[in-house]
Structure 1
Amino acid sequence: MEFKKPNLLSKEASVALWLQGKDAWNVWAKKNPDIGVDFSGVRFAIPDLLQIAPNNKVLLKANAEGDFSALTFVNYTFPHLADFSNTEFNIPAIFDNGTFNGTADFSKAIFSQNASFNGITFNCIASFYNAEFQNSIVFSDCNFKGNTLFTFSHFEMLAYFPSTTFHEVVGFDHSTFAGGTHFKNTKFLCKEVYFEYINCTDTFDFDELDAKKVITLSFKGSVFEKDFNISGHFKCVPDLRSTKLNHHTDLTSMIYTLNRKKVFFTPIKKVTDTLDIGRLCRLKELAEQNKSHDMALAFHADELRAKRWGRLNIVQSVMDIIYSVTSNYGQSIMRPLLLLVISFLLFNSYIISKSDIEIKSAYKPAATLSIATITPFLSISKEARGHSAQVLFEKQLPENFYLYSYAYASSSFLFLFLVGLGLRNRFRI
């Protein structure tokens, strides 16, 4: 990936300035905020560095003692573009507590030793496009204020991003993670995060995140050979379509938002992204595979909500709303039970108000008649219903009695069914 390059120090001048140490470097950086440094293609190995800066005392001492602790970029400030593209680090790459005020270009760089970027601030684009990390890499407590690109990168061993903050687009598409990968307590203050078509052959921890601003989180087409852990609060539906997961995946700690908007000035809400239907369907499949019935029900419910007023026609959408309100798509027991009690009380009140006997005497036969009306499958109900009707209505049945009875019986039977469905879903093994 190429970036527009400002005035750059030559490679020889950049290496020579680096070898003078942090203090000399930072004094120069403060005086030259519009000049970048060029380390592109440099091979950070003592013999190669000596060819660029022969007779350098720091290099000669490091070569003699085998101590590379002085050959770091700790606390260095890069005033403008820092071009490390195609660089090869054969010594530990230590950039701790540094600051990149311009683009940090590490595209196609090779890190054959441990690399450390702890406490780094990237004030512009940070590109590790097609970089190769052959040893452990740590980005702890970093602050990425610009776009962050790790596309097509390869992580051979541990890749660690704890407590790091991302402010703009984050891309790890088509990368390979051969060691453990950890994004614990990471803050994604950006809107878009992409891990599409990655290949992870070890544990991938993407948990305890602060990602409430993320509206696009995609793992589409990725392969996870071992544990994949994801938790946090997302302002979107994570995209796990076309993923391959070979181990158990726990989705119970993942909180997401199904984004819907009102249609004009009506109370009707329609999903903002129709792709959420497929995303929720995939999450439901994963929950079912892992025997997480509660999560599967929750994903199925949101999948139906996403289809409402779109894939479902008007009649289907209205029926879907009724199903949602009365039982939360079979997830609630209390809702249909409460509606059943309300319908019982309403019909009971109607019978008492129309009875030919005193109100005090009508309570018991009215309750019996109400219960018998909704339990025709019990053998005693027919006799109890007839006897109670005779007691309550000595002369004749009130007008529209059968019509109200049918309405009450039908609605109550529906509520009984939903109570049973809720019990079945609650205690399903």
Structure 2
Amino acid sequence: MEKELERKLTGLPDKVTKLEGDDAILLWLKGKDAWNKWMEEHPGSSITFTDIDFSPEFIKARLASYNQLPELLEWSKSKQLISFEEYQFHGNVYFDNVKFYSDVSFEGAIFRDELIFFDSKFYSDVDFSRAVFCGSHTLFHNVEFLKDAKFVFSRFESLTDFLNVKFSTASFFSATFEGNSAFQEIEIKGKAVFTDAFFERKVDFRLRSFLGELLFNNATFEGACSISSSCDNKALLTSTRRLTFQGADFRRWLKIDGYFTCIPDMRATKTGHHVDLSGLRVMLRRGFVQEGWGVEKAIDPADSERLCRLKELAESNKDHKRALEFHAAESTARRWGDLSPLQSMLDIVYSLTSNYGQSIARPFSYLLLSIVLFAIFSIKQPECIHKDEGAFITALTVSIATVTPFISISKTEREAGIKKLYGDKTPEDYGLYSYAHAGGSFIFIFLTGLGLRNRFRI
């Protein structure tokens, strides 16, 4: 094996098209200069690392017969990390079922052809900062980053796929994606940062599990952008602490859907095309106003402003239903915070009676209930002289006529009904009760009309 490596390093015999196994490990151990020299002499050669644990113990056991191994291991150990810094890869590169137990650095590395990480695991920090991915396809499939993963100032020049990847924390700060990008079925346990990132073409994020923060502050999207949660069941929803796009620039269409336990922050964003929020479902995080009260309020005061921006986007795209839902959530978020106690009480009444103008059935049911209760109240008065079977119908007619004075027949029917019920002796304060009944019912009529208007708004 040692002679075979020396043959490859000198490049004297036949051209090498593939470097793998022990030969790949030994060449890596010789350092950046030896690696890059070999690459220059063997352009287009593919590199394969399969079933390898990048640890001194594993390498020592696997390459025990190589007489320069102790010296190479000591050199590698002295760097306190697994280093591929500024390594150049001229052909396809495959890391298949590879485990990294120490810090790993690919800082400044250049991948000139296809790069695939498959079924690999990083137990410690990994750094791809300023790495350049030039190949036709960059794929991370079934990869776990158990600690910090950095792709700061990295450049992905073609198709990029992160498929079924688990991130603890990740930073793509100022990263550039020049080809189509996909982050499919990914899990984020901590924070994933795409601040100042640049996406030249379409990007698709599909989150399987989202327990932390996803930040796109000041990012630029030249192509279409889709962000969704794989969880379509509210009962299976995981906790999302933060999803923000503050200052982002969307120059094509944007779609956000799925369930999130935070309010996406779209404040200060610039949108040049359609924004689809029809599938977005959010949950306003709440806490008790005071222990023992049983009354809740929004935990984050900024949620009302975030919801206001979502409402604005929905309205600008003629999605009235979603705009109403965001308005209702915004009003709930403002309650007990921006509003005074009296305003908060009125807001609660508005919410209970009509769900902020979204419900038709709720205020109409209250209207019917009010009419029936006032009819029962009318026939229960001691002054009532109408004891026949038609007494309730007469009282019901009086109740309906009281709340519909704008109908011409109401005045005549009300007077005739009161005369049947009480003759010439109307109960004391009956007129005052009628005013209260009419006033409350008029509010329910108005809210029913508001619900109809919102439901059939064009």
Please indicate the TM-score interval, normalised by the length of the shorter structure: 0.7 to 0.9
Q: Which amino acid aligns with 1:77?
A: K
Give, in angstroms, the shift of residue 316 of structure 1: 0.9
Which of 420, 439, 454 aligns to 1:410? It is 439
**Which residue number in structure 2 is paired with residue 203 of structure 1?**
224
**Which residue number in structure 2 is paired with residue 49 of structure 1?**
none
Q: Which amino acid aligns with 2:109?
A: T
Which of 73, 81, 87 aligns to 1:42? It is 87
**Which residue number in structure 2 is paired with residue 400 of structure 1?**
429
**Which residue number in structure 1 is paired with residue 243 of structure 2?**
217
Question: What SS does the aligned partner of 2:147 have?
Answer: coil
Summarize the alignment of residues 80-119 of structure 1 with structure 2, pairs less than 5 Å apart.
80-113=102-135, 114-119=137-142
After TM superposition, the structure 1 stretch with the greater mean CA deviation from structure 2, 26-35 or 236-245, is: 26-35
Question: What SS does the aligned partner of 1:270 have?
Answer: strand
Give, in angstroms, the shift of residue 142 of structure 1: 1.7
Q: Distance in 1 between matches of 2:47 and 2:118?
A: 18
Summarize the alignment of residues 170-209 of structure 1 with structure 2, pairs less than 5 Å apart.
170-184=192-206, 186-209=207-230
Any idea what the Cα deviations from partners look like across 1:202-238, whole Å, max 9, x if unmatched?
A: 1112124346321211111111111211111101111
Which of 137, 142, 151 aligns to 2:165? It is 142
Which of 412, 416, 422 aligns to 1:383? It is 412
Q: 1:104 to 1:14 in 2, by over 3 A?
A: farther
Any idea what the Cα deviations from partners look like across 1:76-131, whole Å, max 9, x if unmatched?
A: 32221111111222232222222222211001111121322222222221110111
Q: 1:26 to 1:368 in 2, by over 3 A?
A: closer
Q: Distance in 2 between matches of 1:310 and 1:140?
A: 42
Identical aligned residues as a percent: 35
Q: 1:315 to 1:23 in 2, by over 3 A?
A: closer
**Which residue number in structure 2 is paired with residue 126 of structure 1?**
149
After TM superposition, the structure 1 stretch with the greater mean CA deviation from structure 2, 205-214 or 152-161, is: 205-214
Q: Distance in 2 between matches of 1:235 and 1:188?
A: 12
Which of 238, 256, 259 aligns to 2:282? It is 256
Q: 1:20 to 1:206 in 2, by over 3 A?
A: closer
Summarize the alignment of residues 229-244 of structure 1 with structure 2, pairs less than 5 Å apart.
229-244=255-270
Any idea what the Cα deviations from partners look like across 1:13-50, whole Å, max 9, x if unmatched?
A: 995999996369537555379863212122334xxxxx
Q: Distance in 2 between matches of 1:324 and 1:20?
A: 64
After TM superposition, the structure 1 stretch with the greater mean CA deviation from structure 2, 115-124 or 307-316, is: 115-124
**Which residue number in structure 2 is paired with residue 3 of structure 1?**
none
Give, in angstroms, the shift of residue 366 of structure 1: 1.4
Q: 1:108 to 1:20 in 2, by over 3 A?
A: closer
Any idea what the Cα deviations from partners look like across 1:336-388, whole Å, max 9, x if unmatched?
A: 11111111111101111221121424223212211111111122222222221
Q: Distance in 2 between matches of 1:20 and 1:177?
A: 29
After TM superposition, the structure 1 stretch with the greater mean CA deviation from structure 2, 340-349 or 370-379, is: 370-379
Q: Does the CA-based 8 Å contact 1:109-1:130 persist in structure 2?
A: yes
Question: What SS does the aligned partner of 1:162 have?
Answer: strand
Q: Does the CA-based 8 Å contact 1:217-1:238 persist in structure 2?
A: yes
Q: Does the CA-based 8 Å contact 1:36-1:79 persist in structure 2?
A: no
Any idea what the Cα deviations from partners look like across 1:228-273, whole Å, max 9, x if unmatched?
A: 1111110111111111122222212111101111122212221100
Q: How many pairs were matched up?
A: 397
**Which residue number in structure 2 is paired with residue 330 of structure 1?**
357
Q: Which has the higher strand share?
A: 2
Q: For the aligned residues, what is the CA RMSD?
A: 2.5
Question: What SS does the aligned partner of 2:94 have?
Answer: coil
Q: Which amino acid aligns with 2:416?
A: H
Question: What SS does the aligned partner of 2:397 have?
Answer: helix
**Which residue number in structure 1 is paired with residue 96 of structure 2?**
74
| TM-score normalised by structure 1 residue count | 0.86
Where structure 2 has 5 or more consecutive residues not aligned to the other structure, the ranges are 1-27, 40-45, 61-76, 232-236
Q: Which amino acid aligns with 2:287?
A: K
Question: What SS does the aligned partner of 1:278 have?
Answer: helix
Any idea what the Cα deviations from partners look like across 1:165-203, whole Å, max 9, x if unmatched?
A: 22221111110000111123x323322111111101111
Where structure 1 has 5 or more consecutive residues not aligned to the other structure, the ranges are 1-7, 46-67
**Which residue number in structure 2 is paired with residue 280 of structure 1?**
307
After TM superposition, the structure 1 stretch with the greater mean CA deviation from structure 2, 369-378 or 11-20, is: 11-20
Q: Which amino acid aligns with 2:143?
A: I
Q: 1:14 to 1:24 in 2, by over 3 A?
A: farther
Q: 1:394 to 1:88 in 2, by over 3 A?
A: same
Q: Distance in 2 between matches of 1:92 and 1:276?
A: 43
Q: Distance in 1 between matches of 2:58 and 2:106?
A: 22
Q: 1:111 to 1:415 in 2, by over 3 A?
A: same
Q: Distance in 1 between matches of 2:187 and 2:34?
A: 29
Q: Distance in 2 between matches of 1:42 and 1:418?
A: 69
Q: 1:92 to 1:404 in 2, by over 3 A?
A: same
After TM superposition, the structure 1 stretch with the greater mean CA deviation from structure 2, 25-34 or 359-368, is: 25-34
| TM-score normalised by structure 2 residue count | 0.81
Which of 369, 386, 390 aligns to 2:398? It is 369
Q: Which amino acid aligns with 2:214?
A: V
Q: 1:32 to 1:80 in 2, by over 3 A?
A: farther
- 1:166 and 2:188 correspond: yes
Any idea what the Cα deviations from partners look like across 1:282-323, whole Å, max 9, x if unmatched?
A: 000011011111111111111111111111111111111111
Summarize the alignment of residues 58-69 of structure 1 with structure 2, pairs less than 5 Å apart.
68-69=91-92
Q: Which amino acid aligns with 1:44?
A: F
Q: Distance in 2 between matches of 1:237 and 1:24?
A: 43
